[in-house]
Amino acid sequence: MKDHSRKYRWLLLGTSLLTIGYLVAAAVRETFLAEWYGLQKQYRTLLESKATDDRGRAIARDFRVELKQVSIPQLKAVDRCVSCHNGIDDPRMTDVPVPHAVHPGEILKDHPVDRFGCTVCHQGQGPATTFEDAKAVDAYWDYPLLDRNLTQSSCLACHDVNKLPPQQIALVLEGGKLYQEKSCGSCHKLGGRGGALGPALDNEGAKTKHQLILTNLAPPHSTWNWQEAHFRDPGGIVAGSQMKNPALSEPQVLALTVYMLAQRQRDVPESYLAPDKLEEKVRRLHPQPLTGEQVYHQYCMACHGEGTYGRWDKTFRRFIPAIRGVSLQATADREYLKAQIANGRPGTQMPAWGKQAGGLLPEEVDALLDYIQPPEANRLVKTTLHAAVVPPRGEPKRGSELFTSYCSGCHGLAGHGGIAPEIANPVFQRAASDEFIVTTIRNGRRGTAMPSFQPQIAGARMLSDADLGDLLAFIRTLGGAHEGSLSARESDSYAASTKKGEAPR
Amino acid sequence: MGTASQPVAPRATREFLQNLLRLPQTLRDSWFRLGHAPESEREESQATFHNLFLHIHSVRVHVRSLAPSFTLGLGIISTASFLILCVTGVLLMVYYKPSTALAYDSMKDLHFVVFTGRFIRNIHRWSAHVMVAAVFLHMARVFYTGSYKKPREFNWLVGLSLLVLTLALSFTGYLLPYDQLAYWAITIGSNIANSPRELTDALGITQWFNPGGFQRRLLLGANFVGEDALIRFYILHVFVLPVALITFLGVHFWRIRKDGGLARPDGPMGGTAEWGGAMKNVFEPLATKTYGLMALVKGRRATVNRGPENTVMSWPHLFWAELAVFMLTVALTLILAFHFDAPLKELANPAVPENPAKAPWYFLGLQELVSYSAFMGGLIIPAIAWIGLAMIPFLDQKSGGEGTWFGTPGERRVALKSLFVGFAMVVGMLTFTVNYGWLRSWYPHIHQLWIIFINPGSILVLLYMAWSLWVLKRQNSVRLAAVALFTCFLIGFSVLTYFATVHRGPNWIFYWWPSQWPVH
Amino acid sequence: MPELNEKRSSRLEPLQVPRRSFLSLAALGSFFGAVGMALAGALRLPGPAVLPGPVRRFKIGHPEQFAMGSETRMDEANFFVFRDEQGIYAISGVCTHLGCSVGRSPEGFACPCHGSRFADSGDVTRGPAPRALPWLEVGRAADGQLVVYAENEVPAGTRFRV
């Protein structure tokens, strides 16, 4: 007879045997081929060879080959690193190879593995049970294992940077110094203080690689690799970046990278914080004002340099004024300068520096003003401006013609700036007094391209007082478009022009 | 008692001891009525209908239903993978913690330390894929063999509900690991639920009538994917949907039995069958057999002098077949699970969107449509497709060709033609859209209503309908029109799925190959 | 099959079916083997490979912190630490009856749940407890602190000599 189920019985036999085969293979792979299994067996022989006294023999005897983990609910950490790093807190394991070796240095004395685990300092995938997974370089894990020289960036999560032994966090300290020296604060905020041109860096170290632009980065795609490459050449990593190349040596690149990684706002429970960390937090709430020179070096120098000469900036496509130049010191009064610093120049790269914006304390703004314009110079300016004879505002139409022929070459036809500052800027218009404008036109600015238009000097282009009055009237109409804050049209055109990779003019 | 003085104790003691010794035997007999392997056909039939789990089968099964080339075993594969999913699912529940703070950690535990945890999770994932694929193919098999026809219309509807439940189970399971993939897929999914808002917004009536927002809140319990969404998806995934699916599955099986087993050709089949050790001529079965008399007689009722049908005993033949296909499914998922790990991305992070955020493969066809309009692509077109499928047995009532692949004349030709036409239409539509964009690229300020209703997805649906109507007119056959439409639906679904899987990269931009995607 | 049914006298007598073949037995056997193995594997899953939560191994401080003759209750870990002339020892605070926490009483330890009483040495003096309160292993960590291994029992009277 025809057997209707013979082929099915063969199929059942075949698939069942296949299933058994795969089940056995899976069991063997999981139980005996695991990385930690082999390493723990090695470690047991190590323990036996090290067992010289009763205690050592007891440790060797009690050692069980099994998965081990340190579970620290407060830190939300389950670290299984100890499944392979078995000898991490056994001081006898000095002459054995990694992963069996004891943790180098004295650091575990104050940071027992039981209480702190591993990932709180080293990052990496704690739950993993193979080294590749724990490193998590190309794994789906936000915080891969930190390279050895980067680990010090983790100390700051619980410690005050000033209270740690300097040799242990040498790179962090060096990076912090560079951050000030390179005047990174001119464009970046840290702790609420700094410019607005670049992103704030408070949580830079907690960024994952997915938050960075990796398109131009050669692998491996770790955040620190990105930071290093970015410090070497910002524009090469982030296309169209306005960041200046900080011109760092390789050790400096590393130091600044570690400093960036240290900027991690982690939610560490208070019981884990070093007492000095709490003091540091209090200090941050009540900062000590910096001196004017310090403020200038940390927050102004990246763009203004020493500030004695104005210069044309290629990236910004904009003229950067000489804010410590002799003639500005001699013409601008303190209120004018203060307004520039407090409000910035909307539409340009100059941000506002008031307490709510750039985070400078009022005392610091005053100190900075004293540094830019010494008090005696300011007193002189007051008398000069006071003495200045301001012609009455004349005919704007004629002023417009004068402006076109004498000023527009540098200041632009509508005063939107070119190689010279944008005098149509609303902050300028609001802060600059008629005296200041007239005096500047009359005397020019020494050390810059602004010549003197004072009629008395022979050979110079002469403008009569009436001309000055007409010009003044026209200049004042320029601010009209900027009444109040930045208009919608203005911000649109700014966005549109920056999109094309050009600075607005 | 009156007889208390008689020495009965020794006899009772003996009886007690005897019964005690026979306990294993009596225990077995009480469990298995037969007590031994069936030795005759009568005992074989008893083996079938005395068993709770087997009695849903008839005691005899037609040889056609046993032929692998007819069913391809797809129904059993679907059921088998569902069984595997139930078992592995319960095991996963041992460690899984449905909370946003713990869910991801418990996945990592399963992956790294739980004995067999990674393997079992992989099996769960792969049998989910196998189940979805098998359910789709099963539907196609039932359609192309005309097995939905009277009296099986209702079971076709039950099957379609099972398809929806299968997809819903898969979708709800997607959130549970609470990784990046989960978070963003569910964010998208829940916003598809919100998509009627596109229409109400365009009409300006959202503040009075907002079914989209209601649906979304019902699904998420909040305005974002978080703790509440997770627990809701968990309840749906481990209780509501499985219970619903098991119920529908019961009805599905029961109806197969009540509708006379698997569909078979109606006409005379001829040939011979082996009966009582001799080959005899086969008589055609009655179309509406009820098995009222439990197959003690052949046929719907006791009929003297009727010849045999071409059937064999379910025990053991059908059960060998079912067991073998079950084991085939197990082996298949095991092999896949052994070699390929189920994906698990980074912990869900609302600040870092996945790019591209892709749904599981069986939803990618929909995702392509959703990229034209969430409301049309995510709700209306699937609804149209589902209702269209559901209506097939009621519109195509002419019997003929049941239980045979491409049973009616001309079916194979129409199916083949529709395959080409449907393919050309969907590829043409995609090519046009990728190259030239759509309304919004040409008229940036066009009213949203146009975008919703006139988009490549709806155009494609209309084209398919038009083709089907043309077939209806031309071939003068409802069945052939249905074949045309169903084939278009299948090829459209497949091409869209393939297209969105391979050719859509970050920001849903067209790329020839995933290797060309920019690094992110 | 024909020979099986040759002797059948009438149609009323049931048709005989062949006995199982070797193939059937092999197929069925391997099927049950596979299912059995799969179940055995699956049943391994609920047995935890690593115990959640911190290890029950407690660093209790340096020996100097424990004065001669003192007794200290470690609430979290649920054991008592004693120091006498011979050394330091730890006694579990978990009743051996059904796991309630015992408290100190004038005679030794008393369990609040079912009335078990223990002597200072941990021996049962009254009540349903089946055995004495276990003494726990005390050792010294690499950093010099005392460690109590709450999972490891030692014979009563074992002291850690300081």
A54 pLDDT more than 70 = yes
Contact B116 A133 (CB under 8 A): no
DSSP assignment, residue B510? B
Q: Are A434 and A384 a contacting pair, CB within 8 Å?
A: no
CB-nearest to C5 from B113, B120, B277 is B277
Better-predicted residue by pLDDT, A199 or B264: A199
Question: What pLDDT is stored for residue B296 in this prediction?
Answer: 53
Distance CA B160, CA A21 (A): 37
Q: Note whether A271 contacts B: Cβ–Cβ < 8 A.
A: no
Question: By CB neighbour count within 10 A (0-12 exposed, 13-18 middle, 19+ buried), where does B48 fall?
Answer: buried
Give the single-character DSSP code of B243: H
The DSSP line for A251-309 is HHHHHHHHHHHH-------GGGS-HHHHHHHHHHHSPPPPPHHHHHHHHTHHHHTTSSS
Rounded CA separation B282/B273 (Å): 6
Q: Do B105 and B348 form a contact (C-beta atoms < 8 A)?
A: no
**Cβ–Cβ contact A9 with C under 8 A:** yes
8 Å CB contact of C45 and B276: no
Residues B273, B279, B282: CA angle, nearest 5 degrees: 40
How far is the CA of B21 from the CAs of A495, B10, B13, B30, B504, in angstroms?
A: 94, 16, 12, 15, 72
For chain B, how far is it from start to end, CA to CA, in angstroms? 93
C34 to chain A: closest CA residue: A20
What distance in Å separates the CA atoms of residue A150 and residue A135, rounded to the nearest whole number?
Answer: 14
- Main-chain dihedrals φ then ψ at residue C73, nearest 5 degrees: -95, 125
Please report the pLDDT score of residue A482 as a whole number.
41
| Per-residue confidence (pLDDT) for residue B294, from 0 to 100 | 54
Mean pLDDT across the stretch A405-422? 81
Q: Are A320 and A503 in contact (CB under 8 A)?
A: no
d(CA A373, CA A334): 8
Mean pLDDT, residues C50-63:
77
Closest residue of C to B326, CA-based? C31
User: Which of C34, C46, C48 is opposite residue B327, by nearest beta carbon?
Assistant: C34
CB neighbour class for A231 (10 Å; exposed up to 12, middle 13-18, buried from 19): buried
- CA A156, chain centre distance (Å): 16
- Whether the Cβ atoms of residue C145 and residue C60 lie closer than 8 Å to each other: yes
A22/B contact by beta carbon, under 8 A:
yes
- Whether A486 has a pLDDT exceeding 50, the answer reads no
Tell me the per-residue pLDDT of B282-318, one tens digit each, with 9 for 90 and over. 555 444 445 445 555 544 444 444 455 677 888 888 8
CA–CA distances in Å: residue B84 to residues A16, B87, B335, B383: 15, 5, 14, 30
Query: What's the rounded mean pLDDT across residues A207-231?
Result: 90
| C34 contacts in chain A (CB < 8 Å) | 16-17, 19-20, 23
- Which of residues A454 and A373 earns the better pLDDT score? A373
Confidence of residue A467 (pLDDT cuts 50, 70, 90): confident
ipTM comes to 0.86
Mark yes or no for CB contact B117/C45 under 8 Å: yes
Convert the pLDDT of each residue in C20-38 to its tens digit: 688 889 999 999 999 999 9
| Partners of residue A8 in chain B, C-beta under 8 Å | 317, 320-321, 323-325
Residues of chain B with pLDDT below 50 are 1-4, 267-270, 285-289, 291-292, 298-306
Note the pLDDT of residue B408.
83
Choose among C39, A12, A11, A22: nearest CA to B83.
C39
- Work out whether strand C87-92 and strand C79-84 pair parallel, antiparallel, or are unpaired: antiparallel
Beta-bridge mates of residue C15: none
CB-closest option in C5, C6, C14 to B42 = C14
Interface check for B87 against chain A (CB to CB < 8 A): the answer is no
Indicate which of C17, C21, C25 best probes the interface with B, i.e. most B CBs within 10 Å of its own CB.
Answer: C17
- Cross-chain CB nearest to B39 (options C1, C17, C34): C17
Residue A82, CB-side half-sphere exposure with 13 Å CA sphere: 22
Across C105-131, average pLDDT: 92
Nearest CB among B179, B312, B520 relative to A4 is that of: B312
Q: Which residues of C touch A76 (CB under 8 A)?
A: none
Measured from the Cβ of residue A375, the count of other Cβ atoms closer than 10 Å reads 10
> Across the interface, which of C50, C140, C141 has its CB nearest the CB of A69?
C50
Residue pair B315/B47 in contact by the 8 Å Cβ criterion: yes
Give B-chain residues touching C23 at CB under 8 angstroms.
none
Q: List b or e across C101-126, with b for residues whose CB sees 16 or more CB atoms inside 10 angstroms.
A: ebeeeeebbbbeeeebbbeeebebee
Q: How many CA atoms lie within 13 A of A182 on its CB side?
A: 21
Are the C-beta atoms of A417 and A313 separated by less than 8 Å? no
| Tokens encoding C121 | 């040495």
Rounded to 5°, the CA angle A235-A218-B518 comes to 80
Chain A positions touching B350 (Cβ under 8 A) are: none
Two tokens at B97?
């913690």
Residue of chain B with shortest Cα separation from C10:
B276
With a pLDDT cut of 70, the percent of chain A lying above it is 92
CB < 8 Å & 24+ apart, contacts of C46-52? C46/B91, C46/B94, C47/B115, C48/B114, C49/A66, C49/A67, C49/B113, C49/B114, C49/B115, C50/A66, C50/A67, C50/A68, C50/A69, C50/A80, C50/B109, C50/B113, C52/A71
A485: pLDDT confidence band, cut at 50, 70 and 90?
very low
Whether B114 sits inside 8 A of C15 (CB atoms) is no
Contact B520 A15 (CB under 8 A): no
Q: What is the pLDDT of residue B308?
A: 59
CB contact under 8 A, B328 and A11: yes
- Chains contacting chain B through 3 or more C-beta pairs under 8 A: A, C
Neighboring chain C residues of B94 at a CB cutoff of 8 Å:
45-46
Distance, CA of B361 to CA of B275 (rounded, Å) = 49
Return the half-sphere exposure (C-beta side, CA atoms, 13 A cut-off) of residue B133: 14
Residue A162, chain C, CB below 8 Å: the answer is: no
Residue type, A248: L
Q: According to the model, what pLDDT value does residue A145 have?
A: 94
Of residues A21 and A455, which shows the higher confidence score?
A21
d(CA B380, CA A52): 78
Reply yes or no on whether the pLDDT at C1 is more than 70: no
Q: Alpha-carbon distance A156 to B172, whole Å?
A: 41
Instruction: Tokens for A162, please give them.
Output: 């000033």
* Residue with token string 């931009």: B509
- Using CA coordinates, name the residue in chain C closest to A76: C53
Interface of chain C against chain A, CB under 8 Å? 1-2, 23-24, 26-28, 30-31, 33-34, 37-38, 41, 49-50, 52-55, 57, 59, 139-143, 152
> Does A53 score more than 80 pLDDT?
yes
Digit-coded pLDDT (tens) for B17-50: 999 999 998 888 888 777 777 888 888 888 888 8
pTM over 0.90: no
Cβ distance A186 to A303 under 8 Å? yes
C-alpha A452: how far from its chain's center?
42
**Least CA distance to C138: which residue of chain A?**
A55
pLDDT in tens, A128-148: 999 999 999 888 899 999 998
Contacts of B261 (CB under 8 A, 6+ apart): B58, B61, B62, B65, B289
